[in-house]
């Protein structure tokens, strides 16, 4: 009887410990309850992000009236286009209202970007966010304490952006000619023979580039130059025909500390013989090239000098004929 009671007690102990293992967050030996996740919502009941910012955009935190002081902290705040500022109330009776000086301009305001001129006040623990999509300097204030100097500034910088791009080739003694490479919309088509090409990428001001690489398509960056100037030159080789190729300038900055670093991609269609840039090589391209044989190479007909020799000859016609039927992939 004693033996059976001991066995029963042992079985009971095992069942209890199994229950602890199941319900304990860390298994056997856990002596504390599982931590409860805290959910933060704004005044409209929307979830407030509480995760690390992405590499593309970031969240910058500002405290409204910390410890009862009539300030926004930190101030000013330097951010980039696409970043978000998150204000959290450290004391009651304040607003975040855009405008300067002490006059609402309606661009943004707590608690919900509506009726900004009313200067709605919020209390401790409130949270308000605004994402800035355009570069510039944005002033804001507390509607009830602006007269006491409770103002703030958000400086929004834009990353360096390419202004224009070209594919450049030297046509013998005829000179240098560029094929425009639009940065938006339809891709520019390079119709001249490879496998070497040169991209020219222009910026509004001097920039520094960390590196350059082919990020889409087939080809190789041999080198690039132009750091410290507004124009970057990228030399390519091993570029194949009938493709779309993208070259990306990495870690581009203009050297200003509050301007973010950016990656700048430039795309080009490569379709040898497509002298009219229609994205397909056909009899029209052959006829255009034939019509220019023997003519001086100029800005109006350099595309017909397909081999970039500096003269338009029967060789160019032969090249175009050999590529009839090719089309640029989507």
**192 preceded by cis ω (within 30°)?**
no
Which of 157, 175, 193 is the C-terminal boundary of a domain? 157
Mean of the per-residue pLDDT values of the chain: 85
| Same-domain check for residues 78 and 175 | no
DSSP H helical segments within the chain, as ranges? 2-23, 283-291, 314-322
CATH code assigned at 129: 2.60.40.420
Give the least confident one: 56-60, 198-202, 325-329: 56-60
| Same-domain check for residues 282 and 180 | yes
Q: What is the number of structural domains in the chain?
A: 2
> CA 300 to CA 179: how far, in whole Å?
11
Q: What sign has the CA pseudo-torsion 218, 223, 225, 227?
A: positive
- Please give the pLDDT value at position 259: 63
Q: How many CB atoms lie within 10 A of CB 142?
A: 26
Question: Is 37 a member of any domain?
Answer: no
| Same-domain check for residues 132 and 265 | no
| DSSP β-bridge partners for residue 6 | none
Query: What Cα–Cα distance (Å) separates residue 48 from each residue in 42, 95, 121?
Result: 6, 18, 19
| Same-domain check for residues 266 and 122 | no
| Same-domain check for residues 127 and 266 | no
More confident residue, 137 or 37: 137
| Confidence (pTM) | 0.61
- 256-279 average pLDDT score: 88
Question: Is 21 a member of any domain?
Answer: no
**50 preceded by cis ω (within 30°)?**
no
Question: Is 75 a member of any domain?
Answer: yes
- Please give the pLDDT value at position 135: 84
- 145-169 average pLDDT score: 93
| Same-domain check for residues 274 and 125 | no
| Same-domain check for residues 65 and 100 | yes
Instruction: Kindly tell me if the per-residue pLDDT of 50 is higher than 60.
Output: no
Give the least confident one: 198-202, 252-256, 265-269, 291-295: 252-256
| Same-domain check for residues 132 and 170 | no
| Same-domain check for residues 278 and 194 | yes
Which two tokens mark 193?
Answer: 């023979």
Question: Is 171 a member of any domain?
Answer: yes
| Same-domain check for residues 219 and 281 | yes
Percent of the chain with pLDDT over 90: 72
| Beta strands 151-157 and 77-80, pairing class | parallel
Coil, helix or strand at residue 39: coil
Mean pLDDT comparison of 1-5, 82-86, 145-149, highest-scoring range = 145-149
| Same-domain check for residues 149 and 83 | yes
Do residues 153 and 62 lie in contact, with contact meaning Cβ atoms separated by under 8 Å? no
pLDDT in tens, 276-314: 999 999 999 999 999 999 999 999 999 999 999 999 999
Residue from 166, 188, 198 nearest 278 by CA? 188
Question: Is 16 a member of any domain?
Answer: no
Do residues 110 and 129 lie in contact, with contact meaning Cβ atoms separated by under 8 Å? no
Which of 157, 182, 208 is the C-terminal boundary of a domain? 157
Instruction: Kindly tell me if the per-residue pLDDT of 170 is higher than 60.
Output: yes
Name the residue range of residue 109's domain: 59-157
Instruction: Kindly tell me if the per-residue pLDDT of 262 is higher than 90.
Output: no
pLDDT in tens, 183-212: 999 999 999 999 999 999 999 889 999 999
Question: Is 39 a member of any domain?
Answer: no
Instruction: Kindly tell me if the per-residue pLDDT of 156 is higher than 80.
Output: yes
Question: Is 192 a member of any domain?
Answer: yes
- Please give the pLDDT value at position 16: 36
Question: Is 286 a member of any domain?
Answer: yes
Which of 133, 157, 181 is the C-terminal boundary of a domain? 157
- Please give the pLDDT value at position 258: 57
More confident residue, 17 or 210: 210
| Same-domain check for residues 224 and 173 | yes
Instruction: Kindly tell me if the per-residue pLDDT of 168 is higher than 90.
Output: yes
């Amino acid at each position: 009887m004693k033996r059976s009671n001991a066995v029963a007690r042992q079985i009971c102990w095992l069942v209890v410990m199994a229950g602890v293992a199941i319900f304990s967050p860390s298994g056997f030996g856990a002596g504390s309850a599982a931590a409860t996740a805290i959910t933060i919502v704004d005044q409209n009941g929307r979830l407030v992000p509480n995760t690390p910012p992405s590499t593309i955009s970031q969240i910058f935190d500002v405290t409204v009236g910390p410890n009862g002081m009539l300030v926004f902290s930190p101030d000013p705040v330097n951010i980039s286009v696409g970043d978000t500022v998150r204000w959290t109330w450290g004391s009651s009776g304040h607003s975040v209202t855009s405008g300067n000086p002490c006059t609402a301009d309606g661009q943004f305001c707590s608690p919900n970007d509506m009726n900004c001129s009313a200067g709605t006040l919020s209390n401790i623990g409130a949270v308000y966010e605004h994402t800035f999509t355009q570069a510039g300097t944005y002033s804001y204030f507390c509607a009830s304490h602006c007269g006491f100097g409770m103002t703030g500034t958000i400086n929004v910088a834009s990353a360096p952006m390419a202004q224009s791009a070209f594919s450049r080739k030297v046509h013998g003694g005829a000179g240098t000619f560029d094929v425009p490479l639009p940065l938006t919309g339809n891709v520019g088509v390079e119709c001249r023979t490879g496998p070497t090409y040169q991209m020219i990428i222009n910026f509004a001001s001097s920039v520094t580039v960390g590196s350059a690489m082919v990020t889409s398509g087939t080809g190789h960056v041999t080198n690039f130059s132009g750091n410290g100037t507004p124009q970057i030159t990228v030399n390519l080789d091993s570029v194949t025909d009938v493709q779309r190729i993208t070259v990306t300038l990495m870690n581009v900055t203009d050297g200003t500390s509050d301007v973010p670093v950016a990656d700048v991609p430039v795309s080009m269609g490569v379709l040898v013989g497509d002298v009219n840039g229609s994205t397909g090589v056909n009899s029209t391209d052959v006829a255009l090239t034939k019509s220019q044989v023997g003519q001086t190479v100029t800005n109006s007909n350099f595309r017909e000098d397909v081999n970039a020799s500096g003269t338009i000859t029967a060789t160019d016609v032969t090249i175009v004929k050999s590529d009839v039927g090719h089309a640029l992939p989507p």
